[in-house]
Amino acid sequence: MLDTETCHAACDAKDRRFDGRFYVGVTSTGIYCRCICSARTPKRENRTFWPSAAAAEAAGFRPCLLCRPERAPGLAPIDGPARLAAQAYVRIEAGALEEHGLETLADDLGITSRHLRRVMNAQFGASPIEIAQTGRLLAARRLLNETALSITEIAFASGFRSLRRFNATMKDRYGASPSQMRGRKTLTRGESFTVSLSPRGDYNIAPMLDFLRMRALPGVELATKSKYARVLKMGEALGWLEIGMGPKGLMLTLSENLAPHLRPLVANVRGAFDLDAEMTAVDALLSGDAELKEDVKREPGVRVPGALDGFETAIRAVLGQQVTVAGARTLTERLVTQFGAPLERGPEGLSRAFPDAAQLANAGAEAIAKIGLPRKRAETLHHLAVASSEGRLPLARGAIAAGRAALAQIPGIGPWTIEYVAMRALGDPDAYPATDIALINALGRKGETLDQLKPWRAYAAVRLWRRAARKGVRT
């Protein structure tokens, strides 16, 4: 938790750098706000500070209807306990407790559930269960305010198991039922809906879109200089999403059939577009290195492109072993054409989903090899698919230790693939594929691990890839 004077100063200045790092409880109103709230700044003696929304709500404060705490950026701290807590927080926000439970989450993080509870209480002032409950409530508020879904649909989409429990919890926590909170607001139900996502600090989407555009799969993805769209399967729902910049941050548009998965989708998009990164700290470290000083000066705020589907990222990483980006894209197109499910109703340019683990596991290595792969590499893809379909390959953002360990058990997966997947799918800010040919070419030397840039080597890798692309180096 930040010291009190820093919190007061950030509150007085409405400093965006601290948005989401703490919350302001106003004792005179019983409301808690983000430090950037546009309402009149409360008197100093009426302010209390809380390390998380869950802690503020546990103390009896209700979320502000103006600054909307559910839109605040998440956290990306760098020290050991804080990083562990942040990884757990990301997983909880994506619905890990509802899907798998506390013990499984702790196992994925490589710790006991008791230690996880201790760390979360120390960092956020609330238990994992309290954080999950607040996440469900804030997700429900977002759906009530920004979609035309029915109250029943919202209850289950936000993670509640029953409508009665949903209504009772909203009434108990916020003093109003879901229908009262929605009020007379009329939203037209259509084939899609849009929500906004606030980044931490200034956000430069251009490098992100450049990276995605170079690797976009025809039919599955569509990337331009202003937006990224793709087909995505969540559970049994096959839909699409589109992401671009809006007046208050990123605008996420979803096909309506993905609405029940909004909570994990928002968490995944925040991670994939690196919205919660502490870019001030990252750039400060990188600019102190002679190798990257000019890169940071030329283009500040370059974030790490993540992934919306960890399994897909692992498959594409294997297909990219020892070939160029263009070569990997060709092989992946063949895989999608052969095994991907068609999207019947989607925007122009989006027509097919990336094959899921069950599809490739059932296909077998021999069928996979027919896209033009060596038998050994096809077997690696099949092993990945089987491990994922059986639940032995945790590739969710935040499952860094468990994901790395599981990948290392797959025949044909080497250090480069593990680092690449850890960077993009697991959200490891220190992942660095040192043997990547483009990184070697950008540095002009082999064997460089950039240890002096820990714990932000993934950001160094992205900058070096951009340097290689500017120079026309083959990647």
Which phi and psi angles does 228 have, rounded to 5°? -135, 130
Q: At what angle do helices 325-339 and 310-319 cross, to 10 degrees?
A: 120
Nearest CA to 270 out of 34, 24, 67, 71 is that of 71
Nearest CA to 23 out of 43, 3, 42, 49 is that of 49
Residue whose tokens read 């097919």: 352
E strand or H helix at 137: helix 128-146
CB 352 within 8 A of CB 342: yes
Q: Is 15 a catalytic residue?
A: no
Give me the catalytic one of 7, 33, 35, 37: 33
Cis previous bond, 342, omega within 30: no
Tokens of 437: 């040919």
CB 1 within 8 A of CB 22: yes
Distance (Å, whole) CA 86 – CA 128:
12
Q: Is 79 a catalytic residue?
A: no
DSSP letters, 385-414, are HHHHHTT----STT-HHHHHHHHHTSTT--
Distance (Å, whole) CA 49 – CA 113:
27
Q: What is the DSSP letter of 188?
A: -
CB 216 within 8 A of CB 336: no
Tokens of 304: 């790490």
E strand or H helix at 317: helix 310-319
Distance (Å, whole) CA 355 – CA 385:
10
DSSP strand pairing (31-33 vs 227-234): unpaired
Q: How far is CA 345 from the centre of its chain?
A: 26
Distance (Å, whole) CA 172 – CA 169:
5
Distance (Å, whole) CA 357 – CA 359:
5
**Residues recognised as catalytic:** 33, 436
